[in-house]
Amino acid sequence: MGQLDNKVALVTGATTGIGLASAKRLAVEGAHVFVTGRRKPELDAAVAEIRTAAGDRVTGVASDVSKHDDLDALFAAIEQFGRGLDIVHANAGGGELAALEEITPQMLDHTFGINVAGTVFTVQKALPLLNAGATIVLTGSTSATDGTPNFSVYAATKAAIRSFGRTWAAELAQRGIRVNTIVPGPTNTPGLAQLAPTPEDAPGLLGMIASGVPLGRLGEPDEIANAVLFLASSQSSFMTGGEIFVDGGVRQI
Ligand SMILES: NC(=O)c1ccc[n+]([C@@H]2O[C@H](COP(=O)([O-])OP(=O)(O)OC[C@H]3O[C@@H](n4cnc5c(N)ncnc54)[C@H](OP(=O)(O)O)[C@@H]3O)[C@@H](O)[C@H]2O)c1
Domains (range + CATH), the chain:
8-184+219-245 (3.40.50.720)
pLDDT score recorded for residue 82: 98
Q: Please, which pLDDT band fits residue 77 given cuts at 50, 70 and 90?
A: very high
Q: Please, which pLDDT band fits residue 4 given cuts at 50, 70 and 90?
A: very high
Residue 92 Cα: closest atom of ligand 1 = 24
Q: Is 42 in the pocket of ligand 1 (CB under 6 A)?
A: yes
Q: Please tell me the residue having the least CA distance from ligand 1 atom 18.
A: 191
pLDDT score recorded for residue 105: 98
Q: Is 41 in the pocket of ligand 1 (CB under 6 A)?
A: no
pLDDT score recorded for residue 201: 97
pLDDT score recorded for residue 165: 98
Q: Please tell me the residue having the least CA distance from ligand 1 atom 23.
A: 13
**CA 199, CA 120: separation in Å to the nearest integer?**
32
Q: Is 36 in the pocket of ligand 1 (CB under 6 A)?
A: yes
| The one catalytic residue among 75, 154, 168, 230 | 154
Catalytic residue at 61? Answer: no
What's the 174 CA to ligand 1 centre distance in angstroms? Answer: 31
pLDDT score recorded for residue 162: 98
pLDDT score recorded for residue 243: 98
Q: Which of 38, 137, 162, 224 to mutate to test the pocket of ligand 1 (most atoms within 8 A of CB)?
A: 38
pLDDT score recorded for residue 1: 85
pTM beyond 0.85, yes or no = yes
Q: Is 232 in the pocket of ligand 1 (CB under 6 A)?
A: no
pLDDT score recorded for residue 88: 99
What's the 165 CA to ligand 1 centre distance in angstroms? Answer: 18
Q: Please, which pLDDT band fits residue 127 given cuts at 50, 70 and 90?
A: very high
Q: Is 157 in the pocket of ligand 1 (CB under 6 A)?
A: no
pLDDT score recorded for residue 84: 98
Q: Which of 123, 187, 208, 213 to mutate to test the pocket of ligand 1 (most atoms within 8 A of CB)?
A: 187
pLDDT score recorded for residue 8: 98
Would the pLDDT of 12 be above 90? Answer: yes
The 10s digit of each residue's pLDDT in 216-228 is 999 999 999 999 9
